[in-house]
Amino acid sequence: MKRDTILFDLDGTLINTNELIIASFLFTLDKHFPEQYNREHILPLMGMPLVETMEQFDKEKVQDLVQTYREHNISHHDELVTEFKGVFETVEELYKKGYKLGIVTTKMRNTVKMGLKLVGLDKFFQTVVTLDDVEKAKPDPEPIQKALALLDSTPERAIMVGDSKYDILAGQNAGTQTAGVAWTIRGNDYLQQFNPDFMLNEMTDLLDVLGER
């Protein structure tokens, strides 16, 4: 069966928000827990929903931590977010060829819109499933199942593309094929542990996977 539905994670996959995320965490943690945490404490937690991540630091202060993080993240968004090589042309090509394109992310909708608009990708996606839209986040299959329903597609016709174990596991749990991206901040070898069906060295490799070049 032809794969005609491509679901993408956003952060770390389509847009490079790594430095924004790390900077926002470091600012937040240093404000609430001065000089206790550094970059190495943050990297293993990237890809989780923000509330779950903040619970790792202090369950009693979660709302304060989330508020501090979001204020910093939004105010520094446009100066720190960039696009990854090959993303725009690949997504544009798939869009022109009639693929069903969706985003499945653990972010809130307002910052998803900011990121997509900043790099000009907002016109290509027929559906965007955010943390606001689901009961359970990735790696639960619910967000992918919702995206597939909105796109009138099925797992057998879909590939989930992402940079974290949560993306790969969510795709596997939902029954789609999966593609990991080698530019993940955790490293290619780390993502390979979760056995994605494909590894993309750059986004244009997705066109090869789909037989489009």
Catalytic residues: 9
Three-state DSSP state, 56: coil
Cα gap 117→134, rounded to integer Å: 23
Torsion angle of the four alpha carbons 52, 14, 80, 130, in this order, in degrees rounded to the nearest 10: -40
Cα gap 175→88, rounded to integer Å: 27
Three-state DSSP state, 33: coil
Contact 13, 162 (CB under 8 A): yes
> Which strand (E) or helix (H) includes residue 72?
helix 62-75
